[in-house]
Chains A and B, each alone.
Chain A
């Protein structure tokens, strides 16, 4: 209901109201002239003329004709439902829709907020994001890790550090009772792992890429890059060793060189079993990482809306 003073305003014929004897310079001279980017923002006030058959008039017309045909009912028995706008995640590649803002916020905070700029991977918290960036994209870290314990325990407050991620993983499992397949402790060695068809590819878990293209058509480019890699990887890794490692290194971006070769070196000796998958310095498939349902910025391999 209207406030009482407004009711009075509109019903009291004697109230003095300033009439609109003003302006109306046609056009938008009220706005100061914008910078040259002003044409990005295109809104101008518009007089809207609606012709007889316009859809905006449909309900009113129907009501009128129901009245003419003696079918009028005053306050409708079936109340026309007033509907509320839905929300939708507009992040490129994500098409989730929500009834409420809270749902939207939860979705966004869970899946899109803590995203690594370099590799577009989504982490659930700022801390895990920080650790991820450190361990994956920081060359200084890589160097230091060779000499000291740099891999932090993921449990906040624990404070322990480890020389390798494997050791940390063991710690997490043993001491903190983490599952062996904890999703947010993927190691860098899995990069480029086209976790094979055997792993669930049920959705949009997106893996790392080396070279992230900054252009708009991000999805296609990245997916292409990614799909190219395993072929390379496969053939290369058939021949584990310097050569393979070196070739991998070449295809990676410069800052990763050191790390990769380090990784290659450190895991060479673990990749001896003939039954192991071809990706020799990768984590065995019994231990799965990263096939989480985390929805990153990219909607999955090649899946671009």
Chain B
């Protein structure tokens, strides 16, 4: 059975190194070796695997359906559905987060997962939403430069806000009112996305609808191609492709490759 051979690591089975010619025509010589760390070639500014996947997933997000009231939000586990080695994904995400390119948020409610927004998108979104409400502009700008871009953490607590950044209680209340900070505990806050509720509503409805489609089928499995042709209800504005990546990455379904394409089967737990 040839399946046995495909499991062996490359060192013990000589695989010819594949030279991929990318579709846009530039001659990049990418080696698919079994190295753990994806090293960027020094001369090009080629995005690494995780960043490329983030950009792809960002394109999947339908900004126009929300009339520009939301920035493109990507869920962290959607990356796992595309890139197989989760540890490398985590490591590269950490690097991107520390360099300030992306920002992680914790969406509350029933979702315990992290979601990712590019810092630039977040900034423009916050400026847009706070323009409509009566909060001091300077405060928002200060928040953006100090906390949103300066501090890469998901949550902040009172000590950091007051001692390190010198915000007064009044200012903190204003930020909470502007919904860039959400109360987490006494003395700690999550940094959040204004109007995130809109996203959550769409997302939970959509996820439930997709899972229901799979659960209702006879053996609790459907081909991915078949699922992509079906339509989601109107409330789920995020689109089928977005949700498929979400349910695969969150391990709610198992992705099994068959001769007619990938099959999604509801996982046991």
Q: Say whether A and B bind each other.
A: no
